[in-house]
Amino acid sequence: MGGSFVFRAITRLDRDTSGVVLIAKNQLAAANLGREITKGAMEKRYHARVTGIPEPREGEIFAPIAREREDSLRRVVREDGKDSLTRYRVLSVDGEGNALCEVMPITGRTHQIRVHMAHIGHPLKDDFLYGEQNEGKIYFLRCVSLTFTHPFSGECMTVTVEKNERSLSDF
């Protein structure tokens, strides 16, 4: 069964983010899926645990994102940034007054969800880069579903992750 294998990641996740990713098995599938992303036709849904409770409990964040500095990993909302749109809605609230939100990045900027939620005053809980770091804890951000068009059949497909103990115990 030899031969070479080329890893063609279509979607990606930030470090410490879990969930669904899409990988193409060949160059033609990758090209077709890439065009779908460029058109904004792929839908990604995330669950994010944020500090506090966003008001309104459902909304859109339209804020341009740019690198903080050329040599920095950190991103910021800034006028000269690239247009970025995120939709969110509160799913539940925990006993500490923090929210579990469903978040949909409409554009696909680096750290977009983390930057946008921090921008509206509700960074991801335990986010070391955009919120408050708590020693030994990491933020909770999971891509829970990905909807896309199959690159050859044209069928609309949705891939989801199952709920597990980690996601349930966090809320």
Catalytic residue, chosen from 14, 94, 126, 127, is 14
State how far the Cα of 139 lies from the Cα of 105, in Å rounded to an integer: 17
Non-local (6+) Cβ contacts of 16 within 8 A are 138, 139, 141
Non-local (6+) Cβ contacts of 19 within 8 A are 13, 46, 142, 143, 144, 161
126 tagged catalytic? no
Say if CB 77 and CB 119 are below 8 A apart. yes
Say if CB 21 and CB 12 are below 8 A apart. yes
State how far the Cα of 11 lies from the Cα of 30, in Å rounded to an integer: 10
State how far the Cα of 140 lies from the Cα of 142, in Å rounded to an integer: 7
Helix ranges, 13-111 (H): 27-38
Which of 162, 76, 79 has the alpha carbon at shortest distance from 119?
A: 76
Q: Which residues are catalytic?
A: 14
